[in-house]
Amino acid sequence: MVTQIQVGLIGYGVAGRVFHAPLINAVPELKLTKVVERHSEASRQHYPWVEVVKDVDALFHDPAIDLVVIATPNPSHFELAQQALSAGKHVVVDKLITTTSTQAQQLTELAQRTQRILSVYHNRRWDGDFQTVKQVIEQGVLGQLVEYEAHYDRFRNTLKPGAWRETPELGSGILFDMGSHLIDQAQVLFGLPQAITADVRSQREGAKADDYFEIGLDYGNLKVILRAGMLVRERGPHFILHGTEGSFVKYGMDTQEEALRRGLTPSDPDWGLEPQTQWGTLNTQIGSLHFDGQVETMRGCYQAFYENVYQAIAQGAELAVKPQEARNTIRMIELALESHRERCTKPYRTAE
């Protein structure tokens, strides 16, 4: 019988309630044991066995808690992760790992010194359409890839009063939010770029945080474009890939976030499946054959993130999302902001 890893969750807002607790609960080897909620006991409505505590020290000082999951606003991540690692806990941080690459490096080094696992919830690596794009590239069906474009667009033309993501505080705005996903996916596919060029804007009246960006990543013969905006009512493609032999174009977003928001879990039989209307279109030459048609989207699997975290802690498996990669994502965001402010292309370099 496998011993369960006891998990403590800090925060039960949207991140904790929608994106973490259901996926922790979907992995039999993990047991959600304690939840930090300062003003309610909402987690017990879904997980009646958990103990609700009001202070993070109740997790850090509990020897039974093996893994601490931090699902709080971005500016709090560094201090909480630092305290958890120093208390000897393994740590998962909701993306972003921190708001600066310097802090991310400090946490990475602390995890190494304490010999604890530190990972970051970049769940979009397990989007079914991203997994499909990854296979299209790896199998070479487009020939040599020359252009990759990815979008996360929404239409929300009003501001959310009181929302921390819409404040001018470091770590807020769409670049740190959706941009971190797009940058992480590009890093998974292509590694680190040679240079970064960015345009970052606040398009909505009264906006104090950025709500639009376009980032160009230079990989030599490969051009990568990442774009997101809050004023896109008519959605374009999510992914556009062009190569020397053909193209792949994909509309629509992965279904898992919507399913989680509706209260579904990975135990649902249709979990991670996309309707055929959202499958991507492949138009390419494969040997002497011309193919022009749909490619079925692979099944999404957000729970795979926590399955890997368990395997890394209990079995010494390699982490799927390494803290060094999360640090690199923050560094690319920093360089994108520098590029925008200075109106120039910035070569990729680590922070001094």
In a domain, 314, yes or no: no
Query: What per-residue confidence (pLDDT) applies to 321?
Result: 98
Query: What per-residue confidence (pLDDT) applies to 116?
Result: 98
In a domain, 310, yes or no: no
Both 239 and 129 in one domain: the answer is: yes
Distance CA 329, CA 336 (A): 11
Residues in Cβ contact with 102 at an 8 Å cutoff, skipping those fewer than 6 apart: 351
Neighbour-count burial of 72, counting CB atoms closer than 10 A to its CB (0-12 exposed, 13-18 middle, 19+ buried): buried
**Domain termination residue (choose one: 66, 88, 121):** 121
Distance CA 212, CA 199 (A): 8
Number of structural domains in the chain: 2
Give 230's DSSP letter: S
Query: Residue 70 belongs to a domain with what CATH number?
Result: 3.40.50.720
Query: Residue 164 belongs to a domain with what CATH number?
Result: 3.30.360.10
Query: What per-residue confidence (pLDDT) applies to 352?
Result: 63
Q: 239 is in which domain, residue-wise? A: 124-303+332-347
Neighbour-count burial of 17, counting CB atoms closer than 10 A to its CB (0-12 exposed, 13-18 middle, 19+ buried): buried
Query: What per-residue confidence (pLDDT) applies to 2?
Result: 56
Both 205 and 99 in one domain: the answer is: no
Q: What is the pTM assigned to this prediction? A: 0.95
Query: What per-residue confidence (pLDDT) applies to 1?
Result: 45
Distance CA 196, CA 338 (A): 9
CA dist list (Å): 179 to 59, 160, 186, 212, 348: 31, 19, 11, 10, 17
Both 101 and 179 in one domain: the answer is: no
Do the beta carbons of residue 179 and residue 256 sit within 8 Å? no
What tens digit of pLDDT does each residue of 301-317 get? 999 999 999 999 999 99
Both 107 and 135 in one domain: the answer is: no
pLDDT along the chain (352 residues), means of 10: 86 96 97 96 96 96 98 96 98 96 98 98 98 98 98 94 85 93 98 98 94 97 97 96 98 97 96 97 96 98 98 97 97 97 95 68
Both 259 and 201 in one domain: the answer is: yes
